[in-house]
Amino acid sequence: MSEKHLKAGDPLPPYSGKLRLFAMRFCPYAERSILVLNAKKVEYDLVHIDLDNKPEWIFSFNPKGTVPIFEYEEGKAIFDSAIINAYLDEKYPEPPLQSSDPLQRAQDKIVAELLSSAHSAYYTAAFNAQALTPESTPTYHRGLEVLQKEIEARGTKFLAGDKPGLVDYTIWPYLERFLALPLLGKPEFAITEEKYAALLTYIEAMKNDPPVKVYCLAPETHAKYIESRVKGTPDTNMLDTSDVCCFRPRKKKA
């Protein structure tokens, strides 16, 4: 798989006959759909897009020019990760990634929604640190605390049960990125063993899930990309095979 991001002037790659996902390597929303495709074990081609200098043809798939975009037939596509993932779970029902219980599906969506406050704090801390306010850190931790309580209350390895489900693949890309914040000089955003033992156990389980493991990036890699974007020179093509890995095992307490 090429990590090169196509830009303005680059031609649309020939259609191979496989399903195709247009993404950006550091986009958490695109990662959500990649994880679902991986979990479904569906064959697909992955095309990375330079969102700062978009190829002209991307707008024929999505007038907004955003990713992810899922090309289900040549020249025909749907976009937005929530729409794509709901479609994939219905189109490819094995393995099912959502509960058959409507109430449980609603509760899963609530969990993801409650974590969104932490998303906002993350983006400010990572990309616009001068805009941080005294409320930013508490807002971030409130989101994590709600998630940890839900993990503890459910009492299962993953939020969806013994195996990850759509709710897990929806929240994971942000948890993956949150771990980069201490490397960017933001120790107040650390997910520590003392405060988040259950959440860290969950993170360890998620990073070893095969659909996650083949695509996730180490905190150091996310930090390096964030630094390049903050400097005004986002290096979307920075990856090589050594970067495509998960996290080092965390040390256990003595």
List active site positions.
27
DSSP 193: T
Helix (H, G, I), strand (E, B) or coil at 79: strand
- Dig out the tokens for 72 from the structure: 């289900």
Residue 37 CB coordination number (10 Å): 24
C-alpha to C-alpha distances, 66 to 50, 63, 80, 188, nearest whole angstrom: 10, 8, 8, 32
DSSP 184: G
Strand partners of residue 45: 20
Burial class (CB in 10 A: 0-12, 13-18, 19+), 190: middle
* Contact assessment for residue 122 and residue 179, using Cβ atoms and an 8 Å cutoff: no
Q: Tell me which amino acid residue 156 is.
A: T
